[in-house]
Structure formats: structure tokens, C-alpha cells
Amino acid sequence: MPVYSEKVMQHFMNPHNVGEIENADGVGEIGNPVCGDMMTFYIKVKDNRLEDVKYKTFGCGAAIAVSSIVSDMVKGKTLEEALTVTPAMVAKELEGLPKNKLHCSNLGAQALRKAIKNYALSHKVDMPGLTDTEEPEEDEHACET
Amino acid sequence: MRKVYMDNVAATPLWPEVREAMLPFLGEVFGNPQSLHAWGDGARDALEQAREQVAALIGGTAEEIIFTSSGTEANNMAVKGLARAKADQGKHIVISAIEHFSIMNSARTLQKEGFEVSMVPVDGFGVVSPDEVLKHVRNDTVLVSIMHANGEVGTIEPVAEIAGRLGRDGPVLHTDAVASSGNIPVDVRELGVHALSLAGNQFNGPRGGAALWVKRGVRMLPLMDGGIQEGGRRPGTEDVPAIVGLGKAAEMAATTLTARMQKLSALRHSLIDGVLGKVEHSILTGHPLQRLPGYASFCIKFIEGESILMLLNSHGIAAASGSACTSRALKASHVLLAMGVDHEAAQGSMLFTLGIDTNQEDVDYVVEKLPQVVDRLRQMSPLYSKFLKEQRG
Ligand code: FES
């Protein structure tokens, strides 16, 4: 088992905000075909803020902790604030991740971004830098790094 | 909290008798077996006794035993040493798709030296069919290496049949019996092989004590250059304590084999029945009958192995997984993939390996806790909710 920080273990053992949101305003799913991880984020938006954030995660202990901490980090934030969350910030919040698990922190930020984009597109909200850009191809080899 | 150790494939507890046998060699009996004095004699006698004990476990003779530091070393020595010794007769070797990395990567090294390597596929149970092996053998095949039993799913391979089909004049046949030796009957003459690897740490001996048996008259080049230890085939000052421990473990394994097999088979049955009965969407991996007594291996759908292991660990249970996320290289087990298990199912692979200390209460405890762990992870699995939605139509 990889050596995880206490923070990772806490979130893994007691993940916050697990679940799905019925009639979510935005849904973002990200998957990695190589190691099989998969993360789905659900968001509820009110007055440009993330009123509720939930997720489901299929993956390792780090992936579960990542989704939990991301949900904590962005809940109540404006969409713009939420979009500033980077994998590095996620890893830092978790007091670090083992090197070969860093890629799991990408999933959280990517899935959330996808959910926000899904909301913006479906609700016809213009978000420069998001709704007007193509998403980068999912990195098929993220797991091999 | 109850502690249940079901990861005997990773490490086995020492028999107390083995530890006792080793202790003098970590103390007063420190001599070098090659020395010509009383200190050396004590060590040499112990070394030769261990050689007899190991030979007896597998039906070989003492002169045919070469002590090594690990199963990995024995496998390296066999594949590279046997093939290189015959390179003038041909440069083709045959291995199966589910061999241990020490075989796989040795074959890769030979490839760089100009050998060709054919890989025999396996069926859904992880069985190497003798027909398939034969199909891959050519005129210039100098070595075939097929494992005796697989260390990830426990399937026992038809090595004796393969040997029979290869015939007397066939290529040299090596078998990696690291997972099987000491755990099921292993007899080199009955198997009909030319070389066989074993490791004491798979049968409650110490790490550092392993061996390669090479049939008399079969030529093999050493991996290392050095002195005359092990007949020059494995030079280097002998690790006497480990070898003594290996010898004693071999003796213990031989005397307890039948009873241990019966006990472990019964416990394994109970574990398999319990898990398949209580965990929906779980399947047994490996052969249902032709399997090592203490091996219970599964794929549990919709969830991932590392998170299962972490939650089991929080309940005091130790097991293993072949999922991509648990491996350092983040690759799913090549054994499961070769058996046709898809990536997603391989993610939920679990391996419980029972050992000398396992009892029925341990099995019951795992059968009680595993379903809870699975449930909890499925509650957070997007794959599982998708599955449920699809089922509801
Ligand atoms: S989810 Fe596969 S390594 Fe983290």
C-alpha cells in the first residue's frame, strides 16, 4: 500500500459529500482508460455559486481522497473561483501524494471543470476560457507516468 | 481488533522450528563452509544437510541442488543460464504468458542477445495447454519454461503432460515451482523437467533461502563469475543461516504436507463459497479445482483493489490485489489480462492466500467484513450506479 498522508487517510476513510445530485445543473465525468479510474462530479449552481457538489469515484485510495477534498475546496465558491483549483493545489491540500499517485489529483480538477462546463453550456452561460475552448484530449497515459 | 493475515504469497511466517534451526548460525556457528578447519566443518555440514532436505522435498538428489538468494535468482539463472548454454544449437525459447516477472524479464534480456521468445497463451482459467506449448516449439527451440503453479490465481499447470509431449529429445524444460513447492507435492522425476526453481519464503522458510534444481548432466552457464561455491554455478560465500532455514522449512513442509493441504483446501473452499455467496457480481479467478490449496482469488466488479485493500486493512485483514492502481507501474496484472479478464474487472482483483496460521474464524471474519467493504465502495462507484440504472432500464 502506498504511504499516504494522514489527511489522505482521513478523507479516504470518511469521504465528504459522496453521492449524486438528482437534476444536477452540471455533470462532469472523467475516466482513464489505462488504469481504469473514473470520477463523476455533480454540481448544483445558484447565483453563480456552487451550492452543492457531489461525486462518485472508482479508483484507488488517493482518487477517493482527491474527490472528497475537491468537493470541500469548491463548495460555496463562485464558478470562477472553483475553476482556479489545480491538481497541485489538491495534492497540497492533501498534505502531499506519493509520486505515482499524483495523476489521481488531475482527475478531481478535470472532472469538476467538466461539470462546470457542462452547466455553462446547458444553461447558456458564457464563461470565457471555458465555454469557448476545446477540452484537451484526455491523457490516455496519465497512469503510466 | 482481530488480525487476519491472508497474504502468504507476499511473505509467510517462519515455522518456530525453522527459526530455532537458524539461530546457531547467527551465533556461534559462523564459519565459512569452504574453510578447512572445525569452524568451516560446522557450517559445511549444515549446508550439506540442508541440501539433502531440499532435495528430499522435490525428489531430486543433493548434488543437483544449487542454492540461490531468491526465487527470482533461481529463475534468472535457469532461463538465462540454460538458454545461453545451448545458444550454439538454437536461439529460440518458449515461455507462457503468465510467468513471473523474473522469467518474463529474463526472456526479454535473452531477446536482446538475439534469442527469439514465443509466448504461449493461456485459457480463461489460466491453464497452459500442452497442445499450445507444442505448437510453439520449433527445431531451434532450446528451452521451454512453464510455471508449475501461478502465484496470482493459484492455477496448477499440466507440467508433467507438457514434459511428456516434449519427449526425451525435446528442448530443456524448466519449471518455476516457487508458488507450488512446499505447498503441493512436487517431484522432479514425476514432472519430467530438467530444472525447477523453489523458494523457502513460500513455505514458511526465511527469505534469502531459495534453490534451483538442475538435473544431472544438464549444462547451465552461471550468472556470476567467482569461486567454486555451488560447483562454480553460483559463486559467492554461502548464506548459511538462510540455507539452513530453507532446509528445515523443506523438511517441515514435507512432513506436514498432506495435513496442511487438507486443512487449507477446506478453508479455501469455505472462503470461496462465502465470498461468491455474499458478494454479488464477484467471480473466482483461476481454475476452480486445479489450484493451490491456500489460494482464493476473485474479481469484484465495479470497485478498485487498492481501496478494497485499504478498507480491509482497517479491519485488520491483509490480502493482495492485481489492480493497476496497486501496482507501482500502474499496470493491471499481466496474468489476469492474459486470462482474458478485461481491464475494468482486473481493477477489482483480490487475492487471499491462506497459510499455516489461518483458521475457520479467520475465514468467517473475512466473509463477514468483505461484503461490507465492497458495499461501501460500491456506494461511491460511478460504475456501480451506472450498472444499477441500466438494470432498471
Ligand atoms: S485511481 Fe488508479 S492509481 Fe489512483
* Predicted confidence (pLDDT) per residue in B50-67, tens digit: 999 999 999 999 999 999
ipTM comes to 0.91
The whole-angstrom separation of Cα B299 and Cα B110 is 34
pLDDT band at B247 (very low <50, low <70, confident <90, very high): very high
Contact between B169 and B162 (Cβ < 8 Å): no
- A137: confidence class by pLDDT, cuts 50, 70, 90: low
Active site residue A104: yes
| HSE-up (13 A, CA, CB side) for residue B371 | 16
* Residue ID of nearest Cα to ligand 1 atom 3: B325
Average pLDDT score, chain A: 89
Residue A12 confidence (pLDDT): 97
Q: What's the DSSP call for residue B63?
A: G
pLDDT band at A140 (very low <50, low <70, confident <90, very high): very low
Q: Is B299 known to be catalytic?
A: no
Tens-digit pLDDT profile for residues B180-231 = 999 999 999 999 999 999 999 999 999 999 999 999 999 999 999 999 999 9
More confident of the two residues B343 and B368:
B368
Q: Residue A14: is its pLDDT beyond 50?
A: yes
Residues B186, B46, B19: CA angle, nearest 5 degrees: 75
**Chain A residue numbers touching B382 (CB-CB < 8 A):** 29, 38-40, 56-58
How far is the alpha carbon of A130 from chain B, nearest alpha carbon, in Å?
25
DSSP chain A: -----HHHHHHHHS-SSBS--TT-SEEEEEE-TTT--EEEEEEEEETTEEEEEEEEEES-HHHHHHHHHHHHHHTT-BHHHHHT--HHHHHHHTT---GGGHHHHHHHHHHHHHHHHHHHHHTT---TTTTTSPPPPP-TTGGG-
Please name which of A111, A109, A99, A108 lies closest in space to residue A145, comparing C-alpha atoms: A99
Rounded to whole angstroms, the Cα distance separating B207 from B98 reads: 23
CA–CA distance, B52 with B311 (Å, rounded to integer): 44
Confidence of residue A143 (pLDDT cuts 50, 70, 90): very low
C-alpha cell at B210: 531459495
Distance from C-alpha of A68 to C-alpha of A53, rounded to nearest angstrom: 10
* Calpha distance B339→B380 (Å, rounded): 28
In the predicted structure, residue A144 carries a pLDDT above the cut 80: no
In whole angstroms, what is the distance from residue B96 CA to residue B173 CA? 12
Residue B324 with chain A: CB contacts under 8 Å = 34-36, 143
What pLDDT score does B170 carry?
Answer: 93
- Taking CA B87 as the corner, what is the angle to CA B83 and CA B88, rounded to the nearest 5 degrees? 150
Residue A136: the pLDDT is 60
The predicted model scores a pTM of: 0.94
B182 Ramachandran zone, left/alpha/beta (phi>0; psi -120 to 50): left
Q: Which of A60, A66, A101 to mutate to test the interface with B (most CBs of B within 10 A)?
A: A60
Catalytic residue among B26, B266, B325, B380: B325
* Index of the ligand 1 atom closest to the CA of residue A36: 2
Q: Closest Cα to residue B286, out of B336, B326, B321? A: B336
For A73-123, the pLDDT digits (tens) are 999 999 999 999 999 999 999 999 998 888 888 899 999 999 999 999 999
- Give the minimum alpha-carbon distance from B320 to chain A in angstroms, rounded to a whole number: 9
Ligand 1 atom closest to A61 (CA): 4
Query: What is residue B331's predicted lDDT score, i.e. its pLDDT?
Result: 86
The Cβ of residue A98 has, within 10 Å, a number of other Cβ atoms equal to: 14
Q: Are A12 and B307 in contact (CB under 8 A)?
A: yes
Nearest-neighbour CA in chain B from A79: distance (Å): 24
